[in-house]
Amino acid sequence: MDEEFGLPMQQGGILQGKSGSKFCPKDGCTIEQTLVIMLRMTQKA
């Protein structure tokens, strides 16, 4: 996991990874996943 980006996002509850803790940054994400990430980011701000 990229500790500069992925780890803080995971610790902050923004990213959860696939299948619990599997983080796949090169897999891309769906529109639905992007919307959930954006929603979580605005709720944390």
Write out the chain's pLDDT in tens, 45 residues.
456 777 788 888 888 777 766 777 778 888 998 899 899 999 976
Domain ranges (residues) in the chain: 6-44
The C-alpha angle 44, 36, 7, rounded to 5 degrees, equals 60
pTM exceeds 0.85, yes or no: no
Q: Looking at residue 1, what is its pLDDT?
A: 47
Q: Looking at residue 10, what is its pLDDT?
A: 80
Residue 18 CA to residue 44 CA, distance in Å, equals 21
